[in-house]
Every structure is written in structure tokens, then in C-alpha cells.
Amino acid sequence: MNVVLIAIMAIGVLFFLPKEQKSEIKTSINIESIEKVNEVVFLNAGVNEIITETKTTQVFGFDVPFSRKTALVILNYTAKFGIKSSVKVEQIGEKEYKVIVPKFEVIGVELSKDNPYNLYDNHGELLSGTTEDVDTGKLVTNQLSSDKQAEYLDKFKS
């Protein structure tokens, strides 16, 4: 009986103590296809991305045991790369020209029409009621940012 009373009091104290949230994000990416196109967009990369974010309640800088909440999202999209500025042509001889193509940039992303994203798993531990929910919309938006797409372009350029 005393153990139950102490456990109830401990849980009650967790709700009133100052809390911090700690977040951890893990991402796994599988490039499904790369396709050259003759438009302003010169390269399409089919991307299937698995994103996991975990949040934990912290009290005085320490993680509260069993307070973890985790969300796993699968994101399917096509990243579009190309050039935004014009090509430069320089004459280097009587019948010779040098064509300078600007560096590829992120043109945009297109979510898959069939299955753009899927909340594959969303779960919490025993005391996760004290932990803020994972914002899956923000998680997906951050992964679709131009900066993230530019990282892929840098990683896979030939």
C-alpha cells in the first residue's frame, strides 16, 4: 500500500517540477532512382526516407526514466535539381566555344502522388504523458527543406 502511495506521489511531482524536452532525430535514406530530364530540371532523384524522432522529459538536466515518445515517419518524394541561372557561352577560337553550365541547385521537391508520407509508428513509454508529442508535420517539413536537398546533391554528385 505504501509503495503504491509513493509511486502516485512521485508521478504527481513529475507534473509540477520544471521540465525540459530533449529531442533526438535519426534518419535513414534510400535513393530509389535518378533520372535525367531535358528541362530546367535536369535531374530527378526518387527518395524514400525513414525519419525517427524521440522526445524525452528532462528534470534538472536529467532524463526522466520511461518518459520517451517516439514517432517514425516514412517519406516518399522526388527531389528536383537543375540550374536557375543562364548558361554562359564564350568564344575561344574561330570555330570553338566554351559553354559554362552553372552549378546544379535545388529546384524543388514533389511528394509521391500514391503515398507521400506515412506515420509508421508513434508510441510512448509508461511515463510519456509528461513528454511533449512529436510534431510530425514539422519533422516532414524540415526534411523537405532546400538545405536538406542540397546535402543530397553534394553527396551524390559525380
Question: What's the pLDDT tens digit per position in 87-107?
Answer: 899 999 999 999 998 888 888
Can you say whether residue 66 is alpha, beta or left, with left for phi > 0 and alpha for psi between -120 and 50 degrees? left
> Which of 140, 78, 81 shows the shortest CA–CA distance to 114?
78
Residue 62, Cβ neighbours under 10 Å: how many? Answer: 11
Adjacent-strand bridge partners of 48: 30, 76
Q: Which residue has the higher pLDDT, 12 or 69?
A: 69
Instruction: Share the mean pLDDT of the chain.
Output: 82
Q: Is the pLDDT of residue 140 over 90?
A: no
Query: What average pLDDT score do residues 122-151 get?
Result: 82
In this prediction, residue 38 carries a pLDDT of: 53
C-alpha 117/C-alpha 149 separation (Å) is 17
Beta-carbon contacts of 56 under 8 Å, excluding residues fewer than 6 positions away, are 21, 22, 23, 24, 63, 64, 67, 68, 69, 131
Beta-carbon contacts of 25 under 8 Å, excluding residues fewer than 6 positions away, are 51, 52, 53, 54, 139
Q: Is the pLDDT of residue 45 over 90?
A: no
Please state the pTM of the whole predicted model: 0.60
In this prediction, residue 132 carries a pLDDT of: 83
Query: What average pLDDT score do residues 130-146 get?
Result: 82
In this prediction, residue 13 carries a pLDDT of: 62
C-alpha 43/C-alpha 108 separation (Å) is 11
- Could you state, in order of their start, the residue ranges of all structural domains in the chain? 19-156
Q: Is the pLDDT of residue 52 over 70?
A: yes
Query: What average pLDDT score do residues 129-134 get?
Result: 84
- Report residue 151: phi and psi, to 5°: -60, -40
In this prediction, residue 69 carries a pLDDT of: 92
